[in-house]
Structure 1
Amino acid sequence: MDALHWWRQGDAVTQGAALVLLAMSVASWVVIVWKLRLMRRATADVARCTAAFWQAPSMDAAAQRLQAFDRSALVLPLVVAANSIAIHSVRGAPASLASAGSLSQRLTRVLRDALHDVLGRLQFGQVLLATVGSTAPFVGLLGTVWGIYHALTAMAGAGQITIDRVSGPVGEALVMTAAGLAVAIPAVLAYNVFGRLIGRIEADLEGFARDLRELLIDTAQPADAKT
């Protein structure tokens, strides 16, 4: 009943701020739950897939093995992209600028693009969490200020103002500030935790991409020497 009374007492601005905070909270918690599952799976997949790759006898066997292990599709795109360049690495005039340059340059280009795509999936939702964490307190503060103004204006038109008549509406308006903080704090904490986890996964993927590039270059050198 108190919440219903507060909702009916507020005007369009107060109700709009409350709806915005509700939408922010729902969106941030959906992202938090989804990214918790993604981060847990990604952390395990990167370690398991890199170990499986180095135990494989060949690039083709490694790619087939990673299809079963890499549920989050973080390591497999790097292997597929690098393997496609290594297979089509032949002498002669390049068909396009994408195929021009040395093997090292082409591997660097495709691995960089694949790494950007993978990290883009890991970074998904971080902007939303940062936005909610930075703006939700101000939305709540807006609701509070407007609610206090609306309550004081209504009481001023009703006649004499006493502390008993002011404390109730003002206290109800301050709930908006608390709601803004309740929405912002989980988003900020999740953003910081996920940022650290993404940084660790990114470092592991960059190290694997660098090792994969050096492996393919060293493997292709004897063939290049013969030609």
Structure 2
Amino acid sequence: MNLALVFESGDYVLIGVFLVMVLMSVVTWSVVILRIIKLYQAKQGNTAAKQAVMESASLEEAAKKVQGMTAPIGTLTADAIAAYRNYRNTEAKTLAEALPLNEYLVSQIRSSMSRSMRQFDGGMTSLASIGATAPFIGLFGTVWGIYHALINISQSGQMSIAAVAGPIGEALVATAAGLFVAIPAVLAYNFLNRSNKTIKQDLDAFAHDLHVRLLNQKD
């Protein structure tokens, strides 16, 4: 199947469809590669941050060890310790700090978790959109190509199988291109979504343990 023939004989609409397919494919694989690298770094960083916190003898030591860490667990630990210190050291209570320590820590920890997890949402909307729309864009290109192929055949007066099969076969490539782009996007979206949930579950478990430790911290 000669794809160059599509660009040589196709009109601007069919060529535009294929260029959109190429752009979608580039976006898909770029998002996949960047997200996988970020997830790997986050998992490695979470392991190191968790070990550093668990091996610390005090809040001060834990805060120093996680300082500068960009992993979600490191950021969560730093934010939780800062919130604990702020609650203990503030004399003039604000509306939020007037809450009991338990509720105040829960609120601050949840806020930190939301900020940390937001960084993993980048590109997910693009993958979902590409997976949902690429087949329809490819189908549109096929319909458009078949329509113009039949118009050209009727004008030329050639109704043989060879005259029909060639142009229509080239037009069907657009549908195949749509599926070729959509399938990796859908699979990548499901994989990355599952990986994000795994990180969130690990963060939830660590946050619960950190919350209990802070509540039982001796002043």
Please report the TM-score for the alignment, with normalisation by the length of structure 1: 0.88
Tell me what 2:66 maps to.
Answer: 66
Match 1:130 to one of 128, 139, 142: 128
1:196 is paired with a residue whose SS is helix
**Residues 28-47 of structure 1 correspond to what in structure 2 (within 5 A)?**
28-47=28-47
Moved more, 197-206 or 157-166: 157-166
2:43 partner amino acid: T
Q: Distance in 1 between the 2:121 and 2:59 partners?
A: 28
**1:122-157 residue CA offsets vs partner (Å, 9 max, x unmatched):** 222222111111211111111111111111111112
Tell me what 2:180 maps to.
Answer: 182
Q: Is the 8 A contact 2:130 2:185 kept in 1?
A: yes
Q: Distance in 1 between the 2:145 and 2:77 partners?
A: 58
For structure 2, which runs of at least 5 residues remain unmatched after alignment? none
Q: Distance in 2 between the 1:113 and 1:192 partners?
A: 26
Moved more, 139-148 or 9-18: 9-18
2:152 is paired with a residue whose SS is helix
Q: Distance in 2 between the 1:93 and 1:53 partners?
A: 30
Tell me what 1:214 maps to.
Answer: 212
Q: Distance in 2 between the 1:102 and 1:214 partners?
A: 14
1:92: Cα distance to partner?
5.0
Q: Distance in 1 between the 2:163 and 2:116 partners?
A: 58
Tell me what 2:168 maps to.
Answer: 170
Q: Is the 8 A contact 2:7 2:15 kept in 1?
A: yes
2:214 partner amino acid: L
Tell me what 2:115 maps to.
Answer: 117
1:122 is paired with a residue whose SS is coil
Moved more, 3-12 or 101-110: 3-12
Moved more, 82-91 or 119-128: 82-91
Tell me what 2:54 maps to.
Answer: 54
Moved more, 105-114 or 2-11: 2-11
Any runs of at least 4 consecutive aligned residues in structure 1 with deviations exceeding 6 A, and if so which? none
Q: Is the 8 A contact 2:53 2:62 kept in 1?
A: yes
**Residues 142-153 of structure 1 correspond to what in structure 2 (within 5 A)?**
142-153=140-151
Match 1:99 to one of 78, 97, 101: 97
**1:57-112 residue CA offsets vs partner (Å, 9 max, x unmatched):** 122222222246x4x431122112111121122475423x3333111121111111
Tell me what 1:21 maps to.
Answer: 21
Q: Is the 8 A contact 2:67 2:78 kept in 1?
A: no
Match 1:155 to one of 150, 153, 156: 153
Please report the TM-score for the alignment, with normalisation by the length of structure 2: 0.92
Q: Distance in 2 between the 1:59 and 1:177 partners?
A: 59
Q: Distance in 1 between the 2:65 and 2:92 partners?
A: 34
Q: Distance in 2 between the 1:165 and 1:216 partners?
A: 78
Tell me what 1:202 maps to.
Answer: 200
Tell me what 2:80 maps to.
Answer: 82
Q: Distance in 2 between the 1:150 and 1:100 partners?
A: 72
Q: Distance in 1 between the 2:110 and 2:116 partners?
A: 10
User: Structure 1 vs Structure 2: percent identity of aligned residues?
Assistant: 38
1:4: Cα distance to partner?
3.3
1:81 partner amino acid: D
2:72 is paired with a residue whose SS is coil
Q: Distance in 2 between the 1:133 and 1:189 partners?
A: 9
